[in-house]
């Protein structure tokens, strides 16, 4: 049984490697100082999708991402690893969306894609850590969900069996398609980029990217239609403009503050035998330990 | 109507700590708002469950007792809460930022079209002005949470949509009994009016849930290690020190990501918040997201070879040296002097 699989992926600033220049003097985030990467758990999700494709020949894996024009990189990254195509949902009207407005836009886009069997995405993105978009998309589409997935064990005859990793154990659940699955970081890493696929797709571009190119690749894109990456705007996916972007977000950011901690006056000691023993004696004497 | 709701999680007939912590916080917020605190428990064989909930100050407990509601599954619990919230119209709904709350919360918020803020580290009541519209909103829930890997703290409000929903991690709020004799009203829900057959398309076919192995949240001494421990072997030194001085072992996110320790030992914004009397941070540089989860420790000792590590600025004692030589010395001199 061949499957139509959508992978939801997000381009995120690499918040795990925050340098000293990550914050501007005024306390706002200096996005330019943070590398834009494929959200790590979305890569785990992509791997689960590609494994399903390996097991079910004829299946199709499509990457759907929402973001600014440069997020087309996420689709190329997916193609390099084995995805079959992708859509970039991009429009100024989507900007400033909270998780609910984001999931509404994604759900509208997914409705444009015919006969979706499984939607797979990372559990959460590292820039927000909310884990909300997957379940919110599922609810908007009226699909059931399996969150915290570590392994999609089997898909057969419209049934899906998934192993979930919870705080204190595991659960194996069975559901029916269509299904939304959100994948944990504990799932296997994504396969690396494939050299042949890089060669094949390195010129893949969206319409906007093509317009920004100084050279004319029209002939190339006509000869190789798979290099055309689809861009969708608000109008292309039949969104209600009032429900997307900042305007469509029920949550509002009231205030953003830099994190400041109370600095203590600390006593610095060396790691010498004498210093360590003196400290331990003191801790025992004042009943902190022992 | 217009009350504050807490969704209570249950495992083996016991209400989760995080839910009791939220009831405690919910009680104080409800007092400020002059509204009632209502709790929801959904599961199976819940006779007498109210005795676990009322001491924390709940005025009403909604009980949905049905074999099909345990163990937790997304759709039936979502249907139950969505319908109940449509009837009761709470102004605020809180749940734990656990694998259950983070599965359920977004689904419910999506169905109700209301805003949800994940992993709040503080909840307060305050006013809000939408300057563009010239509108002032009284007594909103300030949902305060870290963002951007903990580098900033954002205050989020939901001006128009109800309920205002938020999740909070275990250990962030403190649980406190209002009175052992506090009595509320039990409202048994007829589940047939809330659930439908299509809610049961996902079935649990296997389940292995262990009791919590570690109890770092309640430990009075924590020995914690970071990426600077260098290897799993070095990290295991912390278990030696912990067993000698009677401590629990914690870890930073980087150490957990590197595979040095299990996730249930993670201290910080995306792990557990701890307040021990002594916190020994070994090979931890002190990322904001870690410090936020341990800064309320009574005493902090940092062991680090980097004299500029951010953690040093909040430590009472900084031992400058290599962790693999300092920790064995701590063990040795504790054994020598503790008699």
User: Is B278–A289 a contact, with Cβ atoms under 8 angstroms apart?
Assistant: yes
Record: contact A271-B319, CB cut-off 8 A: yes
> Which pLDDT tens digit goes with each residue over B132-166?
888 999 999 999 998 876 778 899 999 999 999 99
Is the CB of residue B215 less than 8 Å from the CB of residue B305? no
Same domain for B224 and B186, yes or no, is no
Check CB contact under 8 Å for A136 and B109.
yes
Query: pLDDT at position B228, please?
Result: 94
Q: Looking at the structure, tell me whether residues B227 and B253 fall in a common domain.
A: yes
The answer to whether residues B70 and B177 belong to one domain is yes
CA distances, A72 to each of A30, A133, A242 (Å): 22, 20, 25
Interval A170-187: pLDDT, tens: 999 999 999 999 999 989
Based on the domain organization, do B195 and B238 belong to the same domain? no
Alpha-carbon distance A81 to A50, whole Å?
8
Q: Is the pLDDT of residue B32 over 70?
A: yes
Phi-psi region of B65 (alpha: psi -120 to 50; beta: other; left: phi over 0): beta
DSSP A82: T
Q: Which residues of B touch A167 (CB under 8 A)?
A: 98-99, 263-264
User: Could you tell me the CATH number of the domain that includes residue B45?
Assistant: 3.40.50.620
Rounded-to-integer distance, Cα B9 and Cα B81, Å:
13
Q: Are residues B224 and B184 in the same domain?
A: no
Give the closest-approach CA distance of A57 to chain B in angstroms: 26
Give B 131-160 residues with CB within 8 A of chain A.
142-143, 146-160
Q: Do B151 and A18 touch (CB under 8 A)?
A: yes
Answer whether residue B210 is part of any domain.
no
A222: Cβ contacts below 8 Å, ≥ 6 apart: none
pLDDT digits (tens, 9 = 90+) for B40-67: 999 999 999 999 999 999 999 999 999 9
Radius of gyration of chain B (CA): 22
Same domain, residue pair B287 and B222: yes
Q: Could you tell me which residues come within 8 angstroms of residue A240 by beta carbon, excluding any fewer than 6 positions away?
A: A248
Mutate to test the interface with B, among A146, A162, A250 (most CBs of B within 10 A): A250
Average pLDDT over residues B268-277: 88
> Mind listing the pLDDT tens digit for each residue in A89-107?
999 999 999 999 999 999 9
Nearest-by-Cβ selection for B157 from A173, A254, A290: A254
pLDDT in tens, B158-192: 999 999 999 999 889 999 999 999 999 999 999 99
**Res B21 pLDDT > 70:** yes
pLDDT score recorded for residue A214: 78
Q: Cβ A166–B153 below 8 Å, yes or no? A: no
pLDDT digit string, tens, across residues B212-262: 677 888 899 999 999 999 999 999 999 999 999 999 999 999 999 899 998
CA distances from A169 to A28, B213, B246 (A): 39, 11, 26
**Average pLDDT of chain B?**
94
CATH number of B236's domain: 3.40.50.1220
The pLDDT score that the predictor gives to residue B120 is: 94
pLDDT at B271 over 80: yes
In this structure, the answer to whether residues B177 and B236 fall within a common structural domain is no
- Domain for residue B211, yes or no? no
Give residue A24's pLDDT.
64
Considering the four listed CATH numbers 2.40.30.10, 3.30.420.40, 3.30.70.141, 3.40.50.620, the one that applies to the domain covering A4-243 is: 3.40.50.620
Please give the ipTM for the structure prediction.
Answer: 0.89
- On chain B, the residues whose CB falls within 8 A of the CB of A271 are 303, 319-322, 325-326, 329
DSSP state letter for B213: S
Question: Across the interface, do B202 and A144 touch by the CB < 8 Å criterion?
Answer: yes
Residues 6+ apart with CB under 8 A from A219: none
Q: Specify the higher pLDDT residue, B125 or B339.
A: B125
Q: B38 and B92: one domain?
A: yes
A245: left (phi over 0), alpha (psi -120 to 50) or beta: left
Residue range B190-206: mean pLDDT, rounded? 95
> Which residues are bridge partners to A269 per DSSP?
B319
Average pLDDT over residues B12-21: 94
- The list of chain A residues with pLDDT below 70 reads 17-29, 31
Q: B325 and B182: one domain?
A: no
Q: Do A261 and B314 touch (CB under 8 A)?
A: yes
What tens digit of pLDDT does each residue of B97-118 get?
Answer: 999 999 999 999 999 999 999 9
Q: What is the pLDDT of residue B171?
A: 86
Residues B221 and B194 occupy one common structural domain: no
Domain spans of chain A, in order of start? 4-243
Contacting residues of B for A259, CB less than 8 Å apart: 146, 150-153, 288, 292
Same domain, B164 and B260: no
Of all residues in chain B, what percent carry a pLDDT higher than 90? 83
Structure token pair of residue A61: 């894996």
Domain count, chain B: 2
Domain range enclosing B331: 216-337
Q: For residue range A44-96, list pLDDT tens digits in order.
A: 999 999 999 999 999 999 999 999 999 999 999 999 999 999 999 999 999 99
Task: Name every chain A residue with its beta carbon within 8 A of the beta carbon of B71.
Answer: 171
What average pLDDT does the segment B303-315 reach? 91
B192 and B223 in a single domain? The answer is no
Question: Using a CB-CB distance cutoff of 8 angstroms, which residues of chain A are in contact with residue B143?
Answer: 251
Q: Is residue B205 part of a domain?
A: no
């Amino acid at each position: 049984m061949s499957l139509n699989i959508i992978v939801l992926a997000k381009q995120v600033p690499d918040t795990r490697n925050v340098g000293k220049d990550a914050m501007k003097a005024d306390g706002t985030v200096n996005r330019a100082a943070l590398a834009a990467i494929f959200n790590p758990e979305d890569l785990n999700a992509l791997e689960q999708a590609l494994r399903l494709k390996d097991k079910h020949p004829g299946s199709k894996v499509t990457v759907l991402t929402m973001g600014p024009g440069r997020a087309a990189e996420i689709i190329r990254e997916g193609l390099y690893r084995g995805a079959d195509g992708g859509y970039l949902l991009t429009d100024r009207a989507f900007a400033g969306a909270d998780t609910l407005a984001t999931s509404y836009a994604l759900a509208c886009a997914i409705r444009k894609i015919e006969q979706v069997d499984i939607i797979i995405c990372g559990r959460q993105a590292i820039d927000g850590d909310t884990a909300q978009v997957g379940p919110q998309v599922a609810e908007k589409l009226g699909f059931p969900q399996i969150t915290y997935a570590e392994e999609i064990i089997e898909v057969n005859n419209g049934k899906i069996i998934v192993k979930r990793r919870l705080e204190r154990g595991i659960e194996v659940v069975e559901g029916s398609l269509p299904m939304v699955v959100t994948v944990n970081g504990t799932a296997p890493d994504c396969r690396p980029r494939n050299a042949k696929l890089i060669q094949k797709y390195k010129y893949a571009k969206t319409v906007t990217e093509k317009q920004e190119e100084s050279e004319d690749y029209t002939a190339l894109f006509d000869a190789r239609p798979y290099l055309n990456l689809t861009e969708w705007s608000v109008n292309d996916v039949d969104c209600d403009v009032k429900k997307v972007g900042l305007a469509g977000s029920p949550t509002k950011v009231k205030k953003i503050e830099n994190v400041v901690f109370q600095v203590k006056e600390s006593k610095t000691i060396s790691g010498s035998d004498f210093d360590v023993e003196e400290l331990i004696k003191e801790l025992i004497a004042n009943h902190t330990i022992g | 109507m217009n009350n504050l709701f807490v969704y209570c999680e249950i495992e083996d007939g016991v209400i989760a700590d995080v839910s009791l912590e939220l009831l405690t916080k919910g009680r104080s917020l409800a007092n400020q708002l002059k509204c009632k605190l209502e709790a929801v428990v959904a599961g199976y064989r819940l006779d007498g469950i109210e005795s676990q909930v009322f001491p924390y100050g709940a005025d009403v407990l909604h009980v949905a007792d049905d074999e099909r509601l345990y163990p937790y599954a997304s759709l039936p619990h979502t249907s139950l809460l969505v319908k109940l919230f449509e009837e009761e119209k709470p102004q605020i709904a809180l749940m734990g930022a656990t694998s259950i709350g983070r599965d359920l919360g977004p689904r419910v918020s999506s169905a109700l079209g209301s805003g949800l803020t994940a992993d709040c580290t503080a909840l307060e009541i305050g006013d809000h002005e939408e300057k563009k519209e010239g509108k002032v909103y009284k007594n909103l829930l300030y949902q305060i949470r870290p963002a951007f890997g903990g580098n900033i703290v954002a205050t989020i409000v939901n001006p128009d949509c109800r309920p205002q929903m938020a999740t909070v991690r275990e250990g962030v709020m403190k649980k406190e009994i209002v009175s052992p004799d506090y009595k509320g009203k039990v409202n048994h829900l007829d589940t047939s009016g809330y659930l439908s057959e299509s809610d049961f398309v996902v079935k649990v076919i296997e389940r292995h849930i262990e009791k919590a192995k570690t109890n770092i949240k309640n430990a009075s001494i924590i020995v914690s290690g970071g990426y600077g421990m260098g290897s799993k072997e070095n990290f295991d030194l912390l278990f030696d020190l912990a067993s000698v001085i009677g401590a629990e072992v914690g870890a930073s996110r980087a150490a957990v990501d590197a595979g040095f320790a299990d996730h249930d030992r993670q201290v910080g914004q995306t792990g557990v918040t701890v307040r021990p009397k002594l916190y020994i941070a070994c090979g931890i540089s002190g990322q904001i997201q870690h410090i936020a989860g341990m800064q309320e420790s009574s005493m902090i000792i940092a062991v680090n070879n980097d004299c500029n590590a951010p953690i040093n600025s909040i430590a009472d004692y900084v031992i400058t040296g290599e962790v693999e030589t300092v920790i064995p010395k701590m063990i040795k001199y504790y054994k020598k002097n503790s008699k």
